[in-house]
Structure formats: C-alpha cells, structure tokens
Amino acid sequence: MAWLWILGSVALLLILFLISSVHVSFSYDKKMKYKLRWLFISISSEDFKEKTTEEKKEEKPQEKKPEKPKSSFLKNLYKGEGLTGIIDILRDVSQIAQGALKYVFEHLIVKRFYIDISVACGDAAKTAIRYGQVCAGVYPCAGIIVSNTKCRSYDINIYPDFDDKSESKISVDFKGRVKLFFIIKTAVVYGLKLLKIYKNRIIPSIIRGERKGKKPANSRESQIKNNTVSDENNSKKKE
C-alpha cells in the first residue's frame, strides 16, 4: 500500500505544479523593469544587470581565435526552396505563432494594465500630428490585449502636451498571470507543429540547397583526365 501513497503524493504534487500560475509583471518609466515568478522561482531584470556587471569585472582580454567558416543556413534554404517557398514557410510559422499567442491570451488573467503617454514635440502642429499617430498605434494594440484576455483593470491615457519645453513621456504598468498547464500545452502542441515544418520542409530544402550548391569541383579535372586517358589509348592503338 505504500506505493499507492507515493504514487498519489507524486500525482498530487504534479497537479499542484500544473495549476500553479506564472506571474508576469512589466513596467516602464524611463527604465524598463520586468519580473517572472513561478512558486519560489523568480527572474527579474535586476538579476541580469547584476550578472552582466560581475561578468564585465571578471572579463580578461582573450586572444582572438581564427573563425571557422560556417555553412550558410539561409543560403542553402533559399537554393532548395526558392523565394516563394520561403514565403510559404514564413506564413505557416507566423500562423502557428499567432495561434499560440491567441491560446495563451485566452487564458491570461490581467490584473493591471495601465498606459500613460504624454506627446510633446516642441511645436504645436508637430505635436498634434504625432499625437494622432500615437493614438492610431497604441489604442488598437491595447484593444487587442484587453479584448482577448481576462482583463480586470485597465486604463489607457494619451494626451498632447503643447508646452515648448516639455518632452514626451511614456509610462507602462502591466501585471498578469497564467497557469503553467496552459503554457506547457501551448509549447507542446504548437512546438510539434513547428517541428513538423522543420522536419518535413526545412531540412529537405537545406539538403537540396546543399546539393545544388555543390559544384562538381572536379568536373573540369575529370574531363581533362578523361581526355588525356582517351589520347593515351588512341596513341597506344596507333602504335
């Protein structure tokens, strides 16, 4: 019976992990800050800054090594698939990415979504034009986020500042969460679709491109050798 308790506890822990949420926070006010948190694990922009500063201190001048020639991935893909084929592949990949984002957005719970933008260009006419451009770009994008997610609190405020000495200011605050189960499901389902495209279309195209790119390097040499061999055989026959 002990193994049943062990199996049940493992299954319970797995379920708790899957239904736990990944918390995402993003803010921008002259500086960009972000944080990802899942249970006791957290990754933030401050962690990366500390690592980069420590790495710069420990870095020492290293001798430059001769770079090895790398095989051109895109070149072989272009040779094997052509421009229209590459466009078809990019279209299929973009459709898969859109489907993945849409699925995650449907299960994303947005706790807070605030945007505050002050548009100032120093000239009233330029400010008015830029204000219209910013509104035309920001409001549709914000509408997509609000309409496709479970948004609990949001506020988008864009206003022109006609003061000659003022500068444009942007402030963004976003907080949301999504269950780990939906992230794993998205990665598995849409990752398999991408893997299928890579396996069935990209790899064969690269192989075809490599075959086309390989010039018969010894074609001229082989022709010369064949000609010399034939000349020798003719001379032997004459003798």
Summarised one tens digit per residue, pLDDT across range 142-180 is 988 888 899 999 999 999 988 878 888 999 999 999 999
Average pLDDT over residues 61-70: 53
Model pTM score: 0.68
Domain-embedded: residue 1: no
Q: Note whether residue 196 is domain-resident.
A: yes
Q: Enter the tokens of residue 207.
A: 């192989």
Query: For the chain, how big is the Rg over CA atoms in Å?
Result: 30
Strands 150-151 and 109-119: parallel
For residue 68, is it within any domain?
A: no
Question: String of b and e for 10-41 (b: at least 16 CB within 10 Å)?
Answer: eeeeeeeeeeebbbbbbbeeeeeeebeebeee
- Give domain status of residue 9, yes or no: no
Q: Is residue 61 part of a domain?
A: no
Range of the domain at 30: 16-45+73-214
Residue 53 domain flag: no
Straight-line distance from the first to the last Cα atom of the chain, in angstroms, rounded to the nearest whole number: 97
The encoded tokens of residue 51 equal 């690592």
User: Which pLDDT does position 136 carry in this prediction?
Assistant: 92
- 93-151 pLDDT, tens digit per residue, is 889 998 998 999 999 999 999 999 999 988 888 889 999 999 999 999 898 888 889 99
Residue 5 lies in a domain: no
Domain count, the chain: 1
6 within domain boundaries: no
Is the CB of residue 92 less than 8 Å from the CB of residue 135? no
Nearest to 181 by CA among 193, 192, 189, 171: 189
